């Protein structure tokens, strides 16, 4: 198949497709032409909206083949992560809606049960597909559904322990289940580890594995006891040839490697296994991320995630940033600390570029560890490094760190080990939606004994917090920061450690106090301006720490203002809850002032731009000002006469 650099927009076959059922009536030759049209259409759609392009281009032929052979939606097609499912969405009745991809009120960038019956299982985090597929296959044996389950999982996702847990269980149960391993040698960053090497070794043994498949097919047609004897012979030949795969040892019938872009071959293989399989089958397909589009194939990240771009040239439409991104600020600050301290090391879980640690790896390659999609291992590995006296920085998105909570509790917190957690993508993240929002880390970390939890209000504070974490050896410490550009403040030449548990006052006032944790600080300052125009004077303070709290600051704000408003970019049960607990225990809530805790709402916020998401969540400046005024009115405090502390808290 040629590499297109100038997508054409004529799609006569695709134009006739209203559902995958039409594919099952088509000739193989027409399916090949359909795949070419589908690739061009996908490029055109993502060029307009942005999104995850390279991963979808790599599975266009697989997508066509699966829908042409299997009876979806009766057969359950489960995409791991889901960002490779754009072509799937186009074929399943959502082609026109692709213009709304990842936009407010539009299609999700991942699979979503509420969006289509062709999305039987939602996904956005990796390595869940085999477990879910086995769930469908097992439910089928109880009479709940009668279709097959097909899980498509990437080689990067196969580096996670959950995938092996599922395969181990599936191999033991022996249920009919189809797993298609999409092997493109990378997830977001290039795939790493022994498993990646194993896949490479299998690829060099393709002829012997092809013979193994033929022997298995022939054996399936024999009566007992000849079938058992033939299976033993096949295993012996495989062992002699050195071709036995990990998957076979786990109880799967292994087929491959096969060319994931050879559609006729894929069709033949899928039809065969659909007809003869009586247990779990793994098909190892070799693909190219970004296949069929030269700009993607030639890009380092294969256009994994892009904004809008010119479909003909591949030129990305990028606005010039007004301030450096938080991720880049973190990476530079960590490099500076590592330059001075040989004990500083960095760990990430297949997100080197996403966390900025690709920059660290260039400066200190021997001290950078990408462990693959294995957050649990990353945390305990960091704990081991800390126990040995090093200073590990575990850089993981908030939403992905959730996957390692037991290790955080058991291996880090209980032992009091000084692991440093750099928590990227704190708060709402925009187009990636609720699956990638960093809403819960403040709550799930600040309730752990011995933990120190910080949030940067701006990029300069982030530099200081990296320095604080480097200097902190008395227990685990975490600092969170959002996705995107900073505020444009001047950056210090070198970070200075912040006194643990000490906040700062940005603006002094009399009537209302805003106590911000994180980057809503700027919105609090705007809210103070709104209140000033209405005759109210507001103090604005940056808490910096959710744990330990700055008790002196909190009690001063509570005792000298008629209303205290805490603001955070996280779910309930976090910073505001800790402030309330302290004030209640200190007797400060016994009828003296009004207090409100502003958090993210108690639902999963749908994808949109971050500004729209925060507007909907009630965390923009006008909402903060309204909440402050409402707290005074609800507490029967006369606005403009704020010192009348006569009424109980409501």
What span, in angstroms and rounded, lies between the C-alpha atoms of 502 and 264?
A: 65
Backbone angles phi, psi at 471, to 5 degrees: -80, -15
Residue 343 labeled ligand binder:
no
**Contact status, residue 159 vs residue 193, Cβ threshold 8 Å:** yes
Tokens standing for residue 57: 């281009």
Cis peptide before 225 (omega within 30 of 0): yes
Residue 157 labeled ligand binder:
yes
Q: CA angle, 503 as apex, 424 and 422 as ends, to 5°?
A: 15
What span, in angstroms and rounded, lies between the C-alpha atoms of 158 and 613?
A: 33
What span, in angstroms and rounded, lies between the C-alpha atoms of 563 and 473?
A: 37
Tokens standing for residue 453: 């939890």
What span, in angstroms and rounded, lies between the C-alpha atoms of 474 and 493?
A: 26
Residue 97 labeled ligand binder:
no
- The 3-state DSSP class for residue 623 equals helix
Backbone angles phi, psi at 374, to 5 degrees: -150, 70
Catalytic site residue from 302, 403, 544, 578: 403
H or E stretch including 152?
Answer: strand 149-154
Selection from 23, 22, 64, 67 nearest residue 41 by Cα: 64
Selection from 547, 553, 552 nearest residue 578 by Cα: 547
Question: Is 289 designated active site?
Answer: yes
Tokens standing for residue 190: 């290039």
Residue 156 labeled ligand binder:
yes
Residue 132 labeled ligand binder:
no
Environment class of residue 366 by beta-carbon count within 10 Å: exposed (0-12), middle (13-18) or buried (19+)?
exposed
Catalytic site residue from 375, 523, 568, 605: 375
Residue 182 labeled ligand binder:
no
Selection from 190, 52, 41, 189 nearest residue 110 by Cα: 52
Residue 198 labeled ligand binder:
no
Selection from 393, 338, 403 nearest residue 365 by Cα: 338
Environment class of residue 206 by beta-carbon count within 10 Å: exposed (0-12), middle (13-18) or buried (19+)?
middle
Q: What is the 3-state secondary structure (H, E, C) of 216-264?
A: HHHHHCCCCCHHHHHHHHHHHHHHHHCCCCHHHHCCCEEEEEEECCCHH
Residue 293 labeled ligand binder:
yes
Instruction: For the sheet with 594-598, list strands across it.
Output: 504-507, 538-542, 512-517, 563-568, 594-598
Catalytic site residue from 39, 94, 289, 520: 289
Cis peptide before 62 (omega within 30 of 0): no
Where residue 102 falls (left for φ over 0; alpha for ψ -120 to 50; beta otherwise) is: left
H or E stretch including 507?
Answer: strand 504-507
CB atoms within 10 A of CB 300: 11
What span, in angstroms and rounded, lies between the C-alpha atoms of 16 and 158?
A: 36
Question: Is 375 designated active site?
Answer: yes
| Chain Cα centroid distance, residue 471 | 29
Number of H helices, E strands in the chain: 25, 17
Residue 602 labeled ligand binder:
no
Residue 124 labeled ligand binder:
yes
Q: Which residues are annotated as a binding site?
A: 83, 124-126, 155-157, 184, 293, 375
Q: Which residues are annotated as a binding site for thiamine diphosphate?
A: 83, 124-126, 156-157, 184, 293, 375
Catalytic residues: 289, 375, 403
Q: Which residues are annotated as a binding site for Mg(2+)?
A: 155, 184
């Amino acid at each position: 198949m040629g590499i297109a650099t100038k997508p054409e927009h004529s799609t006569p076959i695709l134009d006739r497709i209203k559902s995958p059922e039409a594919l099952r009536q088509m000739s193989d030759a027409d399916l090949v032409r359909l795949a070419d049209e589908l690739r061009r259409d996908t490029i055109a759609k993502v060029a307009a909206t942005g999104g995850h392009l390279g991963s979808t281009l790599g599975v266009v032929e697989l997508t066509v083949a699966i829908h042409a052979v299997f009876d979806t939606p009766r057969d359950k097609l489960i995409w791991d992560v889901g960002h490779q499912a754009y072509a799937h969405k186009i074929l399943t009745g959502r082609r026109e809606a692709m213009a709304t991809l990842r936009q407010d009120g539009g299609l999700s960038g991942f699979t979503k049960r509420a969006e289509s019956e062709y999305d039987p299982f939602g996904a956005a985090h990796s390595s869940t597909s085999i477990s879910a597929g086995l769930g469908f296959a097992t439910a089928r044996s109880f009479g709940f559904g009668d279709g097959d389950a097909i899980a498509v999982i990437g080689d990067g996702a196969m580096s996670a322990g959950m995938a092996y847990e599922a395969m181990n269980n599936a191999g033991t149960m022996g249920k009919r289940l189809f797993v298609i391993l999409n092997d493109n040698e990378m997830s977001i960053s290039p795939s790493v580890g022994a498993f990646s090497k194993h896949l490479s070794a299998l690829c060099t043994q393709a002829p012997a594995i092809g013979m193994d498949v033929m022997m298995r097919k022939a054996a399936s047609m024999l009566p007992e006891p000849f079938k058992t004897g033939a299976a033993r012979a096949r295993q012996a030949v495989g062992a002699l040839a050195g071709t036995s795969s990990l998957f076979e040892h786990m109880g799967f019938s292994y087929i491959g490697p096969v060319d994931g872009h050879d559609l006729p071959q894929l069709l033949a293989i899928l039809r065969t296994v659909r007809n003869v399989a009586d247990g779990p089958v793994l098909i190892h397909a070799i693909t190219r991320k970004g296949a069929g589009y030269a700009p993607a194939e030639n890009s380092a990240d294969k256009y994994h995630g892009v904004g809008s771009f010119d479909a003909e040239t591949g030129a990305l439409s990028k606005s010039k940033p007004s301030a450096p991104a938080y991720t880049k600020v973190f990476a530079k600050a960590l490099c500076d600390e590592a330059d001075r301290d040989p004990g500083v090391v960095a760990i990430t879980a297949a997100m080197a570029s996403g966390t900025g640690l690709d920059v660290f790896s260039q400066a200190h390659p021997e001290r950078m560890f990408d462990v693959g999609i294995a957050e649990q291992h990353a945390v305990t590995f960091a704990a081991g490094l800390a126990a040995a006296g090093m200073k590990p920085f575990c850089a993981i998105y908030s939403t992905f760190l959730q996957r390692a909570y037991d290790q955080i509790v058991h291996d880090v917190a209980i032992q009091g080990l000084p692991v440093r957690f750099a928590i990227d993508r704190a708060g709402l993240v925009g187009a990636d939606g609720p699956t990638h929002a960093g809403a819960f880390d403040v709550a799930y970390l600040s309730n752990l004994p011995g933990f120190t939890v910080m949030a940067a209000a701006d990029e300069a504070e982030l530099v200081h917090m990296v320095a604080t974490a480097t200097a902190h050896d008395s227990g685990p410490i975490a600092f969170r920061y959002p996705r995107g550009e900073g505020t444009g403040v001047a950056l210090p030449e070198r970070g200075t450690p912040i006194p643990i548990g000490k906040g700062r006052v940005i603006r002094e006032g009399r009537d209302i106090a805003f106590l911000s944790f994180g980057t809503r600080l700027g919105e609090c300052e705007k809210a103070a301006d709104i209140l000033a125009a209405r005759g109210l004077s507001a103090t604005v303070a940056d808490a910096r720490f959710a744990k330990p709290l700055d008790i002196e600051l909190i009690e001063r704000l509570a005792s000298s203002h008629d209303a205290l408003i805490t603001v955070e970019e996280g779910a309930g049960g976090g910073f505001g809850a800790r402030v309330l607990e302290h004030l209640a225990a200190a007797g400060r809530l016994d009828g003296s002032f009004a207090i409100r805790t502003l958090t993210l709402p108690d639902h999963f916020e749908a994808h949109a731009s971050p500004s729209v998401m925060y507007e909907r969540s009630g965390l923009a400046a006008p909402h903060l000002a309204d909440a402050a005024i409402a707290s005074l009115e609800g507490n029967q405090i006369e606005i403009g006469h704020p010192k009348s502390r006569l009424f109980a808290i409501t």
